[in-house]
Amino acid sequence: MTKHAKPYLFACALLALALAARAGEGPVIHAMEELKFRAPQEKAAAELVEGHSGKAVKFNFEKDARNAFFMGQSGATPEWDQAAGFSFWVKGDGSAHCGGLQFIWNEDYAARYDFCFPISGTEWTKVAVRWSDLIPALPKEQCKFLDAKAGNAPSKLGALWIGKWWYWKSYEAHSYALDEFRLEPELPAEAEAPKPAGAPLARVLEKLKAGQPVTVVTMGDSLTDYAHWANKPGNWPNMLKAQLEAKYKSQVTIVNPAMGGTELRQNLVVIPRWAQQAPEPDLVTVCFGFNDWNSGMRGARFEETLRYGVARIRRLTGGKADVLLMTTSPALEHWDTFAELAEAARKAAAETHAGLADVYKAMHEAGGEDRARLFVNDKTHLGQPGHEIFAKTVLAAIESGGK
């Protein structure tokens, strides 16, 4: 063997390993050749079907299968900390619903990591999951983002559950088959969607000024959710729509995925659900805080999650969506409580070049001695004057370009 042969063979071996990794040839986590997941007591059943390779497991969920999980183990090893993530194959039922994975970290059931995936395809499709795609669904101190060096180690992911937690708020009948979970030693570098070149909301404002149709997605909790009783007489998303259409003569479509009782991280998990309806919206508004605070979320972690959320929205919409962060609204009996969450939103907007609608500041300026008028009788949810302030503040942010 010549002196040049060993380096050449070594280079060939490295190339072969890299190609194998790109081809998804990491070690198998779950072959899905057997029914190894413990089924819930009711409203769900699993069966073996023909898979992408050999057999696969099909998971069937009946209507209203709430908190119904098939429980298994991840089989995590120290090798997971060296990997980029994992992959699996999915064959859906052709519906607009989504499937869900949930991992339990370090045997701590408060440390849950969730992943949402579409099931609209009826052919086998490979899904690659980076560790950063698994979102900690709760704001507990131990619920850090996964990172072997700077966060929670993937090697401590224990139980693997298939199903949906309570915050999905959508439990129609659906089914999907899963096959061949593999550890992925390498995955393509995560492509970060570019930040807007100009003002944060310049693109949506330009379309409005041109009278072109725009689509706005309003992520939020019960202050935004159409289904909440306090929002039935009128709500800020529809007030905003009316004001934009009257002023700019544009057709404005509001896609409102807001869910009462939920938190920011939970809504980041289920972005793929509304993204099927609005894959390239012109604007996405993000309005959270009250429920997050009650669950233990504080300023620094809220800021981190908002930064992650802006990047995730941009990535999953192909960089087409302008993003507008809204500061946390005060409540009558928590008039100053959420100041650090509001400041976190301001910092996150500045750091990510997102738009900012400072409703915390606007509510304080409008409050005065009769601040109770801004809320309904529960002293938390918005009354009509409060909704009007929200709509006015968001409109002003759009018209300023989000500066």
Residue 18 pLDDT class (50, 70, 90 cuts): very low
* Secondary structure E strands in 35-84: 44-50, 55-61, 69-73
Among candidate residues 168, 297, 285, the one with its CA nearest the CA of residue 235: 285
Residue 139, pLDDT above cutoff 80:
yes
Computed from CA positions of residues 259, 263, 269, 274, in that sequence, does the dihedral angle turn out positive or negative? Answer: positive
pLDDT in tens, 19-74: 334 444 789 999 999 999 999 999 999 999 999 999 999 999 999 998 899 999 98
For the chain, domains (ranges, CATH) are: 24-184 (2.60.120.430), 202-399 (3.40.50.1110)
Residue 364 in this model has a pLDDT that exceeds 80 = yes
Q: What is the mean pLDDT of residues 261-268?
A: 97
Give the global pTM: 0.91
Distance from CA of residue 398 to its chain's centroid? 23
Nearest alpha-carbon partner for 41 in 14, 20, 62: 62
Contact 329, 289 (CB under 8 A): yes
| 122, 91 contact by CB (below 8 A) | yes
Strand order across the beta sheet in which 214-220 lies = 252-255, 214-220, 283-287, 322-326, 355-357
Residue that wins the pLDDT comparison between 67 and 227: 227
The H or E element that residue 292 is part of is helix 290-294
